[in-house]
A and B are shown apart, each in its own frame.
Chain A
Amino acid sequence: MISVRDLRKHYQVHKRPPGLKAALRSVIHRTYTSVKAVDGISFEIKPGERVGFLGPNGAGKTTTLKVLSGLLHPSSGEVRVDGHVPRHREDAFLKKIMLVMGQKQQLLWDLPPAETFELNRAIYDVPRAQYKQTLDELVTLLELEELIGKPARQLSLGERMKCELAAALIHRPKVLFLDEPTIGLDVSMQATMRTFIKSYNERNGATLILTSHYMDDVAALCPRVIVIDKGLLSYDGGLDALVQRVRPEKRVVLRLNQAVAADSLAPLGKVVTHDNVTAVLQVPQDAVNATVSRALSSLPVQDLTVENAPLEEVMSELFAESKARREKVGA
């Protein structure tokens, strides 16, 4: 469905030197520096897959999505989306895809979302009957009934985002690019969006690429993740396998009946946190069983759970790792 081979996107940034004379000279002779936003990445995505793009700020995620949706021309490399070359922006291509950006809106600001939906119906030439069916479904699933008649500017951020998503789906895109779709939303609204996005993917067999700051989004939605860092692909595979690789240790979380001294915890494993009656230990995977039974026998345990390290932590470790690696190569 999507195939990307050795994609590079280098932005040309006009460097304006300080000082009037230099500025005047630069009008005639412009000097550009090149920002390597994406620097040679390759991947394939099958129809119906849900893939999460992970990477720190400035990694090149948005740039990649913009190339995939035809807004930016690649500097080099080959990109195909359902057989189309995105940069040609053929109608047939544009009618198959949609890019939703959490920070850019398409809703008409002073009109009710219903008007934007209607506009998109006309622009995408959606047959009336299909439009009605799609709209009914979106209104029900996203609970938009009360919202679509109010001017968009009067909606809260979460309400507006739901309407943005609905507007983006009027033409039932087969390929959906979501760039930080839940940014700034509260936890329950994030969950609503997630559930809906998943059900859209399942009902329509749509292919989906998602970027998000919230690891929960990615964990809930994407069986596969692609990690991009400084324009390079540093991981492509299952989320669980990624966690395994970066942080093979497990966490044993203890809730205790009474406070215990720190030295009674230390022999069990690496103490991550410890306050009074709760403690978190980090232990290698193969030592989990032993640790659990020792904890149960030696400590006043009320409750015990075994967990993976939080995703956020796994990611920051991953990025720190690759940064260190880069610096070593550089030196």
Chain B
Amino acid sequence: MSARSTLRALPTLLRIGVSEAVAYRAEMFVWVLSTTMPLIMMALWTAVAREAPVGPYGSQDFVRYFLAAFVVRQLTGAWAAWMINYEVRQGTLAMRLLRPISPLWSYAAENIGAMPMRLFVVVPVAIFAVSTVGWKSVPETAWGWVFFLVSLFGAWLITFLVNVAIGTLSLYMESSTKLMDVWLALFFVCSGYLYPVDLFPPVWRTLIDWLPFRYQIGLPVELMTNAHGFGDALALLGRQWLWVGLLLVISLGLWNRGLKRFAAFGG
């Protein structure tokens, strides 16, 4: 579909994504309950830091970090891999392919449409953070807010595009969701979801900085909690969007090839 008519259709797609999220609110709250890992980590790390700070982190810093991690996870969630996998199995992907718009727009709209509902969880948590560990829990400057929001969007895009890539693999193989499990395991270890990435030993740190995972959670969390000056923040954002660009090429490439194969071999 032409860019202009896609743009014209997008508000409706998003509005319907929101309606779907409202219809699925019960499922969403169950999912929220399954993402409370940062809160458990928070309890753990603050207990450890009570004796002596861990690296640069005291108890208060850990509280701030993990509340931010919880917030970021809520606002960067994507589940397109499971949707694609399901629709390939059920054969309903065909129904989407009949329409003059890429199914990817529909998946994206549906995933983003869930965000407003999530604000009902996120805003109270952010208010709680500010009231217990102070204003450093949210960006303190205007550029800080801008960078934080850009990093959130970048983080969501990385998550979404990886979902698309892995979901597309179900056109080639039976169990692409197994691959998703592997990705998620790496994500938990490397993203800064369970501990801040600057607690990694320096050698590891370099590797982590080059992998995409920390740009999914760590970077937005650090930007939310004012961990970087302007220059460092900008450099890190640059790396994040490099990953966005790279994954855009990989995911769309896989997707287009996958669909061609799907149509050529049967489906």
Contacts and interface: CB of A to CB of B under 8 A. Distances in A.
B23 A71 contact: no
Interface stretch (B98-106, B149-157, B213-221, B222-230): B98-106
A70 B99 CA distance: 11
Contacts of A111: 16, 19-20, 23
B264 interface: yes
Interface string B174-217: 00000000000000000000000000000000000000000000
Interface string B90-104: 111011111111000
B91 A91 contact: no
Interface of B: 1-2, 5, 8-9, 11-13, 16, 19-20, 23-24, 90-92, 94-101, 260, 263-267
Interface class of chain B by DSSP: helix
Contacts of A71: 94, 97-98, 263, 267
A108 B16 contact: yes
B95 A125 contact: no
A72 B260 CA distance: 9
A12 interface: yes
Interface of A: 11-13, 35, 66, 69-73, 87, 89, 91, 94-95, 97-99, 101, 104-106, 108, 110-111, 115, 118-125, 151
B91 to A, nearest CB: 6
Given A104-B90, A105-B95, A110-B20, 20 more contacts: A11-B265, A13-B266, A35-B266, A71-B267, A72-B264, A89-B97, A94-B99, A99-B98, A101-B94, A104-B92, A106-B98, A110-B24, A115-B16, A118-B16, A120-B99, A122-B9, A122-B11, A123-B12, A123-B13, A123-B101
Which of A13, A115, A122, A151 is the most central at the interface, judged by chain B CB atoms within 10 Å of its CB?
A122
B266 A72 contact: yes
Contact of B92 (A66, A91, A105): A105
Contacts of A115: 16, 19
B98 A125 contact: no
Contact of B100 (A11, A73, A94): A94
A34 B13 CA distance: 40
